[in-house]
A and B are shown apart, each in its own frame.
Chain A
């Protein structure tokens, strides 16, 4: 491998340092040979190896990092070390030595970055592979003893829910595509989505726990019927009844929600709907699967054998017409032979052998007859004797299993897109968010220089770094492309334009732009409202558009793009635009603006009044965009998450509404308190306890206040500790108030501290926002939030609290 110039500067230092670690490792290995049960030595080896990982990591010695990590993972689970482990360790030591020796041979050459250092030889060596194989097999056998992640029906249900949702979305999109372009590939896709929904539902239904779930039964029914319907259209080459299929999709959506949230649905309506679909009425019985059967399937060799033979008869029928399958037919005989051998029935094996030679001689009819004979004999064989064989087989199986010691790791499929259950992600992110508060604590400890031990300090620094990285990754998991949301509007626009007899073409741009899932959820309704508005009030009817010299088909553009720390989402239509004079008149009529103001305000500014509460409530309510969801609520919703809304419009040309949205949302659980006239939020992680205390129990000594709580002296602090340049008379406060509200706060340096607050308002979840006017250099600020009444409230970061 070649090293980058940056690495070469590091290499010399690393080579110096590594000598010590290698020496350490060698010594410890020698010690542990004499003391294989000394756990302390194992820990020492792990630590030394970890330091070697760190150094190797710096210069991208990935193969070395990999092997040492595996070694460490293995060591961590060991109580004592056996000879094999020592052998592996010694080989690993040799590999480490070889690697750095090889590098140091080149380290003094001036043109080092030009040289291809032969480290691959080490990676490809027999020894390297031996270690990796050994460690992997040990890791796998440990893995085997753990319960797999798929441990319950619930897990299967979660996967079903994710897949169902995914299939319904894809189905709807394929239908929308098909409507525009009757493409046979799309037909196949549509059929497949129904097929997948059906298959998944059947699996879930086969567990007795769900077998009578009515929503599931209907999901299966609809998808089954419609798969057949699409199949029929393909076979008979007729167009799909698109509207019927859209209805089916809607029912599937309803049923999905009813299944997930356990809410009832209108069964009669669906029954009526399905009556009109004339496809197969065959109900397929679903075999029951007991959940514990999954992990401990009963062996049913004889039953399976009969099934295989009956399938082989089908095969032979096909073979008669397709003699080129002969070779494969002979392979298909093997499992039957295996089964008969297990039954130890020589006569039956004879029969099979004769069938085999018939096939070899191309006498397929004879083979069919012989196998039929075999099938009948087996079917009629005394059941009990077969069952007995089954039991014997099970015993033999058990013994065999015990002999198998090694297992290997399973390979996971790597698909670029991972569909994950949302609850799991949210939980993960919550945990990581909790971790970041630990991280803050660690940063603080580091800053206070309380850790003396260098090693601990290094590890804490390291931990800190890892938490930061973890947090960034976690946040990125929550980011999803906005395209999924955008394409949802295809259906909205289709349905609405049909209803309003308008022609609308949707153009989607910037689908790949990513934004926090939580934000997507919040903006779904406002965006729907804006899109509906654009069709309803913006786009003109086709004839009118033609008269105006516009394209008959109106255009709605949904566009997303990054802009600094924001994502902008635009809803653009090429409709009639907003007439500023109308807005002026209405704003005046509704007393939203004074007569003088209305004269001075520009056209650009006045149209912003459509977002004012009370502007669009009166004559505009209709089924389409009324819905009790005015533009003021759109604006409100966007601003609540720290976003902004802008509008531009030209009469006759169209309107563009821009949502400026933050990339992520951060939520903190906190206690809303009032100190004097200021409101603050104390994150719950600092809140130890809430306390009420008689003011006489608060003592002072030279301006220092304290109290006793459960016989412990606790410092008492007031608002002035938190609010800068804030003076107030503590003595007077204590005299005027009999009962004092205290929030006990955990503090690293002082232990528990009691903060005096005037009022405890509530505990709630608050959105952390970057509000520019409040982000001062005050250490005690975490950020701020806007509470219900619109007040901006600081969120306190009490880690840095200094009394």
Chain B
């Protein structure tokens, strides 16, 4: 049973993603912003994948991803950005920060699950 970290400041978005993932048989840990996510990640070293929002208070998604990648032990953990489609959002920023892939909100459950499955080789 793999653990997935969901980072989003919207409770509705968290619940929605968590529900989809749990139904597909994953364990889910939720974090409300980047800072919270770092804490959760450090106390749950067995997290196998991170799904993060970008627009969040306290610590935004890009900063969070950079901080994760700074740590040697989290260099390999797959990170997917989940964000609302925006003309203002430059996708290259996500890759530069250290994300592997991104999904567009509202996330299609099928796309979310299939992506995770390929990422985790499930």
- Give min CB distance, A643 to chain B, whole Å: 34
| A residues at B contact (CB < 8 Å) | 148, 150, 156, 159-160, 162-163, 189, 192, 195-196, 198-200, 202-203, 205-206, 228, 231, 280, 282, 284, 286-287, 289, 293-301, 303-305, 307-308, 311, 314-315, 317-319, 322, 325, 327-328, 331-332, 334-336, 338-339, 401, 404, 406-413, 415, 419
- Check A315–B115 contact: CB distance below 8 A: no
- Check A203–B98 contact: CB distance below 8 A: no
Query: With A203-B105, A297-B20 in contact, is A318–B95 under 8 Å at CB?
Result: yes
- Contact partners of A308 in chain B: CB under 8 A: 101, 115, 118
Query: With A163-B10, A308-B118, A311-B102 in contact, is A289–B29 under 8 Å at CB?
Result: no
- Check B92–A298 contact: CB distance below 8 A: no
A401 to B119, CA, bound (A): 18
Please classify how large the interface on chain B is, using the bins under 10, 10 to 19, 20 to 34, 35 or more. 35 or more
A192 to B57, CA, bound (A): 8
- Contact partners of B101 in chain A: CB under 8 A: 308, 311, 332, 335
- Check A408–B11 contact: CB distance below 8 A: no
- Check A202–B23 contact: CB distance below 8 A: no
Q: List 24 A-B contacts (CB under 8 A).
A: A163-B10, A192-B55, A198-B84, A199-B84, A200-B12, A200-B13, A203-B16, A228-B87, A287-B108, A297-B24, A297-B109, A299-B113, A301-B117, A314-B95, A318-B92, A318-B96, A328-B75, A332-B100, A332-B101, A336-B118, A338-B119, A339-B118, A411-B28, A411-B30
- Check B106–A408 contact: CB distance below 8 A: no
- Check B109–A287 contact: CB distance below 8 A: no
- Contact partners of A200 in chain B: CB under 8 A: 10, 12-13
- Check A307–B109 contact: CB distance below 8 A: no
- Contact partners of A231 in chain B: CB under 8 A: 88
CB < 8 Å neighbour of A331 from B76, B91, B112:
B76
Please give me the residue from chain B that is nearest to A234 by CB atom: B88
A interface majority secondary structure: helix
- Check A315–B95 contact: CB distance below 8 A: yes
Please give me the residue from chain B that is nearest to A198 by CB atom: B84
- Contact partners of B111 in chain A: CB under 8 A: 300, 303-304, 307
Q: Is B71 an interface residue (CB 8 A)?
A: no
Q: Is B63 an interface residue (CB 8 A)?
A: no
- Check A415–B32 contact: CB distance below 8 A: yes
A160 to B13, CA, bound (A): 9
A689 to B60, CA, bound (A): 61
Q: Give the residue among B23, B85, B101, B108 with the most A Cβ atoms within 10 A.
A: B108
- Give min CB distance, A155 to chain B, whole Å: 8
- Check A199–B105 contact: CB distance below 8 A: yes
CB < 8 Å neighbour of A296 from B10, B23, B75:
B23
- Contact partners of B115 in chain A: CB under 8 A: 304, 307-308, 335
A304 to B111, CA, bound (A): 6
A731 to B112, CA, bound (A): 80
- Check B36–A413 contact: CB distance below 8 A: yes
Query: With A163-B10, A203-B105, A296-B23 in contact, is A335–B119 under 8 Å at CB?
Result: yes
- Check B92–A314 contact: CB distance below 8 A: yes
Q: Give the residue among B55, B85, B91 with the most A Cβ atoms within 10 A.
A: B55
Interface residues of B in 4-20 (CB under 8 A from A): 9-16, 18-20
A228 to B10, CA, bound (A): 20
- Check B100–A303 contact: CB distance below 8 A: no
- Contact partners of A148 in chain B: CB under 8 A: 19, 22-23
Query: With A196-B55, A293-B109, A311-B102 in contact, is A410–B11 under 8 Å at CB?
Result: no
- Contact partners of A299 in chain B: CB under 8 A: 110, 113-114, 117
- Check A156–B1 contact: CB distance below 8 A: no
- Contact partners of B24 in chain A: CB under 8 A: 297
- Check A412–B19 contact: CB distance below 8 A: no
